[in-house]
Amino acid sequence: MGGGPTWDRRRLLRTGAAAFGGAGVGWGASAVVADRAVAADQATSAGTVQLTPAAGAELAPAAGRHQAGITTAPQAHVALIGWDLRGGPTSSGLTRMMRLLTDDARRLTAGEPALADTEPELAAYPSRLTVTFGFGPRVLDRLVRRPERIGLVELPAFAGDRLEESWAQTDVVAQVCCDDPTTLAHARRMLLKDADAFASLRWVQEGFRTARGTTPEGTTMRNLMGQVDGTVNLDPAEPAFDERVWAAGDQRFAGGTFLVVRRIRMDMAGWDRVDRVGREATIGRRLADGAPLTGQNEFDEPDFEATDRYGFPVIDPASHIARARHRTPAEQFLRRAYNYDHTDLSRDGGADTGLLFLAYTCDVAASFVPVQRRLAEIDRLNEWVKAIGSAVYAIPPAAPEDGYVGQQLLEPDTDEEDNA
């Protein structure tokens, strides 16, 4: 049976069309959206349908010189995608890949179909979609001139880690966040299709938080152990936020940051055997409201010197909050965690359950590493949690206008770099 031309999006873009803004095909995607909008307006005026404003139409706010998805209020769902570049990192391959993926991200986060999108209707409701890209150490070492100026360091080994190769470091990462799982699945599919010519997929780590609207805005999320997770966290409104999160120094990386990824598996069957008193003592907070054991409200400052009538500390010095507490201002960083829960019939309870812990910082060695070392040395919670995945990435600043994410690093201006 005869038909129209078959569009192979990846073949088309590999020939360079994406580098010129998708000339010749971009209008087709826009037309689909426009026609659908006109049809909806006509149907509404005719009284055949009743449209009401939807949360799905909401766009994530612009983040200026930073990539969106870092200070963006956390969305309900995440898909963290890790790729290894085929044949090893090459400048031409990574540049072409990032041009293509940046174009995808620009369109999809605006509620528009990706170039030659075969399911354009699935892009209509962005639901605060954000796509945040980062590069692993191998990319910086091989493709970026003077990578030491950027300051990305690999994580040291931590006692107690049980790292699995399936969740290991990759060359490129994309953090895709959205309030709607259908929109998220479509965005993920577009990115995976368009990266396939340049990189092999190592892993996709999916996670979730409480659905938007379930709890009041600003409520601290709970992990699947039932505890509030992230009470002590940097707020973008704090004066110290920029200094602790955004990297300083090399002008090519101005507006960038570093991402630490830790996949933490929970022993839920073992945790189920711990009574409520034991759980609260392990963490150092009450389950009901998240308040420290020495306080009345979640955000009360813990009193680590307080003792009970027998002279014992009210908050165990080996409790999680005591060990995770920053000792210096430099040990503060931005946490952005998500729960995960996947069916696994080989495990007790039939599920692999845990936390996808994401941390953004200006200096991995000075902020994250000291805190994690304390937790690895002693933390009551270690009996029930183990890190099974670990990676670190340099998150470049936002793409230049009409450019791509990472362009400042992969195509630097030599004079500017030498004067940085």
Among 103, 229, 250, 316, the active-site one is: 229
Which sign does the torsion angle of CA 116, 117, 119, 122 carry?
negative
Which sign does the torsion angle of CA 119, 124, 127, 131 carry?
positive
Number of domains in the chain: 1
Alpha-helical runs (H) found in 236-293: 241-245, 268-271, 276-283
Phi, psi of 105 (to 5 degrees): -65, -40
Distance of CA 389 to the CA centre of its chain: 15
Give the model confidence (pLDDT) of 29-52 as tens digits.
Answer: 333 444 444 444 444 455 555 555
The residue assigned the tokens 């599919």 is 189
The DSSP secondary-structure symbol of 391 reads: E
What pLDDT does 349 receive?
85
7 assigned to some structural domain: no
Domain that holds residue 286: 56-419
Strand, coil or helix: what is 323? helix
- Is 229 labeled as catalytic in the residue annotation? yes
pTM: 0.87
Using CA atoms, how far residue 391 sits from 106, 130, 319, in Å, is: 26, 21, 26
Torsion of CA 191, 194, 198, 203, to 10 degrees: 30
- Tell me the two tokens of residue 240: 């110290």
Strand, coil or helix: what is 167? helix
Give the model confidence (pLDDT) of 78-134 as tens digits.
Answer: 999 999 999 988 889 999 999 999 999 999 999 999 998 999 999 999 999 999 999
The residue assigned the tokens 């692999």 is 352
Closest CA to 175 of 19, 405, 21, 18: 405
207 assigned to some structural domain: yes
Distance CA 369, CA 371 (A): 5
Least confident stretch, 20-29, 161-170, 194-203: 20-29
What pLDDT does 15 receive?
43
Least confident stretch, 17-21, 140-144, 209-213: 17-21
408 assigned to some structural domain: yes
269 assigned to some structural domain: yes
The DSSP secondary-structure symbol of 339 reads: E
17 assigned to some structural domain: no
3 assigned to some structural domain: no
90 assigned to some structural domain: yes
Side-chain-facing half-sphere of 403: CA atoms under 13 Å: 15
The residue assigned the tokens 């031309």 is 5
23 assigned to some structural domain: no
Burial of 157 (0-12, 13-18, 19+ CB in 10 A): exposed
